[in-house]
Amino acid sequence: MEKTVVKKTRTQTTVRNFLPCDACSARAKFNVQFSFGELDFCSHHFQLHETVITTISISVQSLGGASNETKAE
Ligand SMILES: [Zn+2]
């Protein structure tokens, strides 16, 4: 009897792979930390509120996009 061993590599897909924007359902591109909590924004809503965000936020973190932008698949 022939036994075929299929090696399965389990790729860990983190939940952070897809974060919806808090203002719409688009993919969030920015995670913004405020003193009252954190919000995720798509690029559209980030740009829309950029002035306010950069003024009152503690930190702005770019989600994905930046590192995954040049993926050749
Ligand atoms: Zn949005």
Residues measured by CB to lie within 5 Å of ligand 1, the ion: 21, 23-24, 26, 42, 45
CA 27 to centroid of ligand 1, rounded, Å: 7
CA 25 to centroid of ligand 1, rounded, Å: 6
Is 42 buried (19+), middle (13-18) or exposed (0-12) by CB count in 10 A? buried
- Identify the pLDDT of residue 18: 84
Whether residue 25 has pLDDT greater than 70: yes
The domain segmentation of the chain, as residue ranges, is 20-62
CA pseudo-torsion sign 59, 64, 65, 70: positive
CA 46 to centroid of ligand 1, rounded, Å: 7
pTM (2 d.p.): 0.64
Between these two residues, 39 and 8, which has the higher pLDDT value? Answer: 39
